[in-house]
């Protein structure tokens, strides 16, 4: 049985893994888990990842959750080029530092912006709550400022002189709100320049492919397909964003 990656390309960490695997020629079976249909909550998927989240990996009998763990696993198993996770002690520490920090500093607040701008209106049928959106964007600002003014002032990529797992994760995360109209790069010139560099390093075509789904406006009819699920999702989102 070949390597299976359980992904929904609406999810930034899934895109990071997808891009990484494709870029490195790692053969895998794409197992689609549609978050919008609540497939991540179904018993079948919970057998793969009891945490009920994507991405997830199955390699024979071995199951693995958490995008950072999956990226490190793939980089080791397939012995990818060293720049992704440099062997030098300090360079590696910089990548580790970003990958740890980003969970609460980037991923969580960026996801919340996306949920407020796109997912909640889609499933509730209500317009965007602009007051709440501003508040959520405000929470992301210190992290963006840190990256633009401090981290990228000293080097071209987030951890070292070359693209690494840190840039890959950051790129797909920052693209999430940007793809739905909250351009996170607009006020931060170094971050915008970094974005172009990362896109060039990953390959523009691959990046486009990975982001095709999130860049498309959602079809409002999708939300009405399962009203009970929509209601459940709206409830969860309201709780999360309050």
Partner 1 sequence: MGLELYLDLLSASCRAVYIFARKNNIPFDFQFVDLLKGHHHSKEYIKINPLKKVPSLKDGKFVLSESVAILFYLCRKYSTPSHWYPPDLHTRARVDEFMAWQHTAIQMPMSRIFWIKMLIPMITGEEVPDEKVEQMLAEVKNSMQLFEEKFLQDKMFIAGDHISLADVVALVEMMQPMGGNYNVFLNSSKIAEWRMRVELAIGPSLFGEAHDRLMRLAEWDSSTLDPMVKERICELLQKFK
Which residue, 37 or 73, is less far from partner 1 as judged by CB?
Answer: 73
Distance between CA atoms of 33 and 70, rounded to whole angstroms? 17
Single out the residue of 3, 38, 39, 101 in contact with partner 1 (rule: CB under 8 A).
Answer: 101
Q: How far is the CB of 49 from partner 1 (least distance, A)?
A: 9
Given the rule CB under 8 A, which of 59-67, 176-184, 187-195, 225-233 is the region that contacts partner 1?
59-67
Given the rule CB under 8 A, which of 89-97, 206-214, 220-228, 229-237 is the region that contacts partner 1?
89-97
Which residue, 64 or 128, is less far from partner 1 as judged by CB?
Answer: 64
Distance between CA atoms of 33 and 47, rounded to whole angstroms? 13
Site for partner 1 in 111-150 (CB under 8 A): 146, 150
**Burial 22-38, CB ≥16 within 10 A → b, else e:** ebeebebeebebebbeb
Backbone angles phi, psi at 204, to 5 degrees: -55, -40
Who's near 102: CB < 8 A, 6+ residues apart?
Answer: 166, 169, 170, 173
| Interface residues toward partner 1, by CB under 8 A | 50-51, 62, 64-69, 72-73, 76-77, 89-90, 92-94, 96-97, 99-101, 103-104, 108, 146, 150
């Amino acid at each position: 049985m070949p390597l299976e990656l359980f992904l929904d390309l609406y999810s930034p960490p899934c895109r990071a893994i997808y891009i990484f695997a494709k870029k490195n020629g790692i053969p895998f079976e794409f197992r689609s888990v549609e978050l919008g249909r609540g497939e991540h909550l179904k018993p079948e998927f919970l057998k793969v990842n009891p945490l009920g989240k994507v991405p997830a990996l199955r390699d024979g009998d071995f199951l693995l959750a958490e995008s950072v763990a999956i990226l490190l696993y793939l980089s080791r198993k397939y012995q990818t080029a060293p720049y992704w996770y440099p062997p030098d002690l300090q360079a590696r520490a910089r990548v580790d530092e970003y990958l740890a920090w980003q969970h609460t500093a980037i991923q969580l607040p960026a996801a919340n912006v996306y949920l407020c701008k796109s997912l909640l209106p889609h499933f509730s049928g209500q317009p965007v709550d602009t007051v709440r959106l501003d508040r959520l964007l405000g929470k992301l600002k210190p992290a963006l400022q840190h990256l633009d003014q401090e981290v990228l002032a000293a080097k071209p990529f987030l951890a070292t002189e070359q693209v690494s797992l840190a840039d890959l994760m950051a790129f797909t995360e920052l693209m999430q709100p940007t793809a739905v109209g909250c351009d996170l790069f607009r006020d931060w010139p170094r971050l915008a320049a970094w974005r172009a560099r990362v896109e060039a390093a990953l390959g523009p075509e691959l990046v486009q492919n990975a982001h095709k789904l999130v860049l498309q406006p959602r079809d409002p009819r999708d939300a009405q397909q399962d009203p009970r699920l929509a209601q459940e999702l709206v409830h969860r989102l309201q709780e999360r964003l309050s």
